[in-house]
Structure 1
């Protein structure tokens, strides 16, 4: 009887349909009516999302992508807004990239109707790549190294003001080491105090970790390839312990090699899974226990935290972001999509 019951249970389990969470994901394009390249993306919910990109373009939707409103700061058409961090439909912070004064931060409190510039870089050697927030008040903006140390600005009032983090808290940068402003995800946070910076360009693709809100940092090597066009492009942590790094070589996006690394010890050590996406990927996000990855060559998902990957879309995207179960992707030629 016990054997019969076991056999019946096996038959039922094999015949049962897959749950909704086991079905392959699918992107549903949400036309924006513009041709800007959107490397900046912030998902607030299934209805609210912000994107930012070239030609000073910032768009916002509050109806799930059915319509988009252009809300970028006036007079910024020459800037590239590579990162946006939105707290809700009204409050958001955007970062423009570039050498010297082109690196700027703006904040809005009325859905983009008006903006206030809250930071402008004055160091010709600095180049800000991305920003991230621990909560609606505390955040970090990352620059490439200056005088051999990474440069980071910190805010404690939601991006209304910024002040430099003392560079004595950073390990020396490697020759040629820098961040990649490809998706606004070269800096990320998890929990109230942990933050990570992604690097490439040097002899080793590294991840820098801070456990005290950004004051002190340690560096760890990853198995990802590193060169002037290769390294870690995006980081995403499900918890302060469990994280994924992704990247590759944007100059040779089809190059084989380990484009993914996993950590379970706050980034102290990184390992390559046995199977990973084929080629360069620039964006990364967690949706529950599933990881989503995007790049110009397509999208992939891993239902087991990064150990195994399946391609599910061949369209190009630069960034991906999730708010709970609601996930969005953005990229070149005004492409924005929501996960179905």
Structure 2
């Protein structure tokens, strides 16, 4: 049985905030508490692309052109990788159901590609191949089953936006007149498939790093025009900035990031916005280290999870404070409406939130 978000948040509430249980009760509660349960993916590739359809169905996309799909809660994973894709680096995947999905390969020039399947990965159709030498696509997002966007690092001084109106079967580059100028060195991070996200039918947000300031750009017209806002997450280095975003509606959002280099401090690794990304406030108690993925728990106004190489953090107050609840390594995290929450990362790691 799936947990409701309130039950999940309550189960992960620090013991200090609850009455002290007896030792047997503590052991019993620990056994029942929500936790990541690793699933055997059968491979050791790194999965930075993840799309949760339900507690039963999820898609993974990773290195060496690998795409996996489960329809039985992670007990079995079917390799549905596109043929002859071994040289591609998949970093984002957006699935509509168990049969239809769109996957993004990243890289310079023609390494950036988009492919779509309508039969569970049995066959794939390449719907976009980048021909602009300066472009490097990082992330995908879909507003609904037809309308979606992809974003590239700046070309001629502005982030490039790709748009689809037919579910990813065809794409066109949008005019850049409505895109603010990029900072020197500014780019997106293809770390978790969450540097470009959307909420509702028209709103999208784009996360940046590498420049003097870590910014979030917002569009309310499906990518035609954008406004930029500074965040308190540190930047000023190619390894620092905002790595992932999550919006539970068109106003309430979370940003996580930091410095992805192992051993480097990541102060102020999280921020929140109450106004659609116009202003950002640093978390009063941020995650203790770099985080590359974040997701709201479905049907909750205050609970969310953030993940990174050193652990998983939970907030139950809308992103103001975070606390570590797991120390396993994950790159990305995603939850389905039925509270099927999944995480994936290095060495073939994939897990589902269990109780």
| TM-score, normalising length: structure 1 | 0.93
Shift of 1:256: 4.0
Contact 1:118 1:162 in 2 (8 A): yes
Cα 1:156–1:316 change in 2 (3 A) is same
Check if 1:94 corresponds to 2:103: yes
Check if 1:22 corresponds to 2:32: no
Contact 1:180 1:233 in 2 (8 A): yes
SS in structure 1 at match of 2:347 = helix
SS in structure 2 at match of 1:66 = coil
Query: How far apart are the structure 2 equivalents of 1:199 and 1:20?
Result: 31
- 2:122 maps to which residue? 113
Query: How far apart are the structure 1 equivalents of 2:177 and 2:9?
Result: 46
- 1:233 maps to which residue? 243
Unmatched runs of 5 consecutive residues or more in structure 1: 1-17
Check if 1:193 corresponds to 2:181: no
- Partner deviation per Cα, 1:6-27 (whole Å, 9 max, x = no partner): xxxxxxxxxxxx9554112410
SS in structure 2 at match of 1:22 = helix
Shift of 1:304: 1.4
Shift of 1:274: 1.1
Cα 1:64–1:172 change in 2 (3 A) is same
Contact 1:253 1:297 in 2 (8 A): no
Runs in 1 of length 4+ with deviation above 3 angstroms?
18-21
- 2:29 maps to which residue? none
User: Who wins on radius of gyration, i.e. which is larger?
Assistant: 1
- Partner deviation per Cα, 1:66-93 (whole Å, 9 max, x = no partner): 0000001000001110000000000000
- 1:313 maps to which residue? 326
307, 319, 324: which is aligned to 1:294? Answer: 307
Contact 1:253 1:280 in 2 (8 A): no
- 2:145 maps to which residue? 136
259, 271, 275: which is aligned to 1:265? Answer: 275
- 2:342 maps to which residue? 328
Contact 2:307 2:333 in 1 (8 A): yes
232, 249, 253: which is aligned to 1:243? Answer: 253
Query: How far apart are the structure 2 equivalents of 1:299 and 1:275?
Result: 14
- 1:10 maps to which residue? none
Query: How far apart are the structure 2 equivalents of 1:247 and 1:337?
Result: 21
- 2:316 maps to which residue? 303
Shift of 1:254: 4.6
Query: How far apart are the structure 1 equivalents of 2:130 and 2:258?
Result: 29
Query: How far apart are the structure 2 equivalents of 1:19 and 1:43?
Result: 20
Q: CA RMSD in A?
A: 1.1
Query: How far apart are the structure 2 equivalents of 1:112 and 1:307?
Result: 40
Contact 2:137 2:153 in 1 (8 A): yes
SS in structure 1 at match of 2:177 = helix
SS in structure 2 at match of 1:98 = strand
Aligned residues: 323
- Partner deviation per Cα, 1:127-146 (whole Å, 9 max, x = no partner): 00010000010000000000
Greater shift after overlay, 177-186 or 249-258?
249-258
Query: How far apart are the structure 1 equivalents of 2:8 and 2:46?
Result: 32
Cα 1:75–1:95 change in 2 (3 A) is same
Query: How far apart are the structure 1 equivalents of 2:259 and 2:332?
Result: 16
Shift of 1:225: 0.7
- Partner deviation per Cα, 1:244-274 (whole Å, 9 max, x = no partner): 0000000245504100010011100000121
Query: How far apart are the structure 2 equivalents of 1:254 and 1:169?
Result: 36
191, 195, 207: which is aligned to 1:182? Answer: 191
SS in structure 1 at match of 2:282 = coil
- Partner deviation per Cα, 1:304-340 (whole Å, 9 max, x = no partner): 1111111111110000000121100000000000012
Unmatched runs of 5 consecutive residues or more in structure 2: 1-5, 13-33
